[in-house]
Every structure is written in structure tokens, then in C-alpha cells.
Amino acid sequence: MALTLRQMRYFEALAKEKHFGRAAETVHVSQPALSAQIAEMEESLGVRLVERSRSGALLTRKGEEVLARVRSILEQVEQLAACTRSGTGMLDGPVRIGVIPTVAPYLVPKLVPRLRESYPSIELELKEAVTDRLILDLQDGKLDAVIAALPIETEGLETQSLLLDRFYMAVANNNNMILMSPMTETQVDADRLLLLEEGHCLREQALSVCGTARKRSLVNFGATSMATLLQMVSHDMGMTLIPEMAIPTETARNDIRILPFADPAPSREIGLIWRRSSGRRDEMKLLGDAVAACAPGRR
């Protein structure tokens, strides 16, 4: 009985999720169907690949060895598909893009129509998540590209710098506190600084800009989205760092005041990240150009 690409993809998903149910969800099949394919794979190879238990699944030592070869094969299959796509047209067919939460709401509404107009055969799939999650999905082949803040120093990945997104400080319009404008980092009251929860790169950037990385009071204000933070700001619960690309949208729906920093203003570098081995560098360059054209900011 010969191995199939389907079995290898299911096995790779199981190795990643370490749970039959979750693995089945990621490949869009039922759990019994996935289990049956894994069992057939084990029978074909004549070895036990997975240790099954009530809590999940672990790879055997032989399973770990097989996983490395399976991932290599799947990568080569993807490269073959990329070569085929490049012969039929650029950005043709499925393109899976991950975007960080502090970029997605402000970029995606402009980017999607532009890509569909420029590349009518494109089939876009979008995922919003924090940087670490997106990079893992990119490495595992679940995404073709990621739009996130640079630098990303991960082996096997290429990056293209797209734009500089300057930071400002958002405060409530009815805030009676007197702040000079443009402001400097030393004017930020750390006890009133609101931050995104752990895992968001903008949280670390805010701590870096404001020099308050060890303030215990900051932790209690962790929020899951920029929209939540700015709602809190509009009710005068504190202040927060806001990227330039978010200002038009957020000032239209929140009662906030935007204060610039003194030059040189702090900023973040937004870039496109993809796998070097994907063979799609030219396509990624076109995608990067489209992102840069849609997003406010400066190179």
C-alpha cells in the first residue's frame, strides 16, 4: 500500500496539534477519517508513528524521524505547485495571508479590493493573529505570507520592508491633563498607560517607547484589541500608543485626541514575510507592493 500526500498532510497536522480532534479540524475532515488515514500510513510503513491516549497524541521516536521526511516532501510538493503557478500567472489561485491585529482592521478593507481588481484569479484567505502564531503557521505551510512588524529573525524566512508607521499618543478629548505637543517620552504617565495583552508586538513597542517595561500597574490594563483600548481612552481611563495607520478609522468612532511625539518620532516598520523555500519571491514582491500602496505611512 503506497503512502499518499493526504496521509502525510494529516500526519503533519497531528504532529503539530498533538490531538486527533484538533488536527481533524485543521484539515477539515472528521476525526475518524483522520484516524483511519494515520492507521493506514502506519500499516504501509510497518511502524508505529503515534502514541494514542485519552489526553491526545504523541509521536514515537520513529514518528519523529518520519515527520522530518514528511515535511521535506510536502515542502517540495509546494515548490512544485509554485513553479506551476508561476507559469500560469502571478498571484493566481489561493494566497493565504496572515495579518497582525494592529494592522488588519486598517489595511484589509483597502487591500482586498485592490488585489481582486489587479489579480482577478486570486483566491484570498486571511487570518488575523499575533505575530508568533502567524510565523508558526507560515513555517508549517498554513500561510503563504505574513504582514507584521519587523524585524523577524527566523531561519528560512525572507522579508520585505513596506512602510514606516509612526506612533502617536491617544488621550481622551475631555482629558484635563496638560500635555505639550509634540510630546516626548518623558511626558507619558506610566500609571495611565493602557496596553494590549501579552503576545501583541505593539505592547512591547509601547513599553519600549515609553520606557516603562517594569511597571506592575500596566498589567491590569491589558486589552485584546486596539478598538478596546481606544474605547477605554475615550472614557478617560488612560492613554495609549496608536499607530498612524489607525488614526483615520479610530478618530472617526472614538472621542479621542491625538498627540504627536517630538522628532525623531518613534515608529514601527511594517513588512511582508514569506518562506524562502516557497519559490514565490516574485509573487511576494507584487503582494508587498500592493500592501505598501494601500497602507498609510512612509517608507
- Model pLDDT, residue 296: 64
What length does the chain have? 299
**Domains of the chain, with CATH numbers?**
5-84 (1.10.10.10), 90-163+268-294 (3.40.190.10), 165-267 (3.40.190.10)
What is the DSSP secondary-structure string of the chain?
----HHHHHHHHHHHHHSSHHHHHHHTTS-HHHHHHHHHHHHHHHTS--EEE-SS-EEE-HHHHHHHHHHHHHHHHHHHHHHHHHHHH-TT-EEEEEEE-TTTHHHHHHHHHHHHHHH-TTEEEEEEE--HHHHHHHHHTTS-SEEEEEEP---TTEEEEEEEEEEEEEEEETT------SSB-GGG--GGGB--BPTT-HHHHHHHHHHT-TT-GGGGGG-BSSHHHHHHHHHTTS-BEEEEGGGHHHHHHHS-EEEEEBPSSPPEEEEEEEEEGGGS-HHHHHHHHHHHHHHS-SB-
pTM: 0.69
Long-range contacts of 60-68 (CB under 8 A, 24+ apart): 63/15, 66/11, 67/11, 67/12, 67/15
Do 286 and 164 contact (CB within 8 A), yes or no? no
- Model pLDDT, residue 216: 42
What span, in angstroms and rounded, lies between the C-alpha atoms of 117 and 155? 34
pLDDT, one tens digit for every residue, the chain (299 residues):
689 999 999 999 999 899 999 999 988 899 999 999 999 999 999 999 999 877 789 999 999 999 999 998 988 887 776 666 554 567 888 899 999 999 999 999 999 999 999 998 898 999 999 999 999 999 888 899 999 999 998 888 999 999 999 999 899 987 655 555 566 666 666 667 887 776 678 777 776 766 654 444 444 455 678 888 899 899 888 888 899 999 999 999 999 999 888 888 889 999 999 998 888 888 999 999 999 998 765 44
- Model pLDDT, residue 77: 83
What span, in angstroms and rounded, lies between the C-alpha atoms of 294 and 105? 12
- Model pLDDT, residue 298: 47
Counting Cβ atoms within 10 Å, is residue 75 exposed (0-12), middle (13-18) or buried (19+)?
Answer: middle
- Model pLDDT, residue 264: 83
- What cell numbers appear for 176 in the block? 484635563
Measured between alpha carbons, how far apart are the two ends of the chain, in Å? 55
Q: What torsion do the CA atoms of 262, 240, 238, 255 make, to the nearest 10 degrees?
A: 90
- Model pLDDT, residue 299: 45
- Model pLDDT, residue 117: 92
- What cell numbers appear for 230 in the block? 481606544
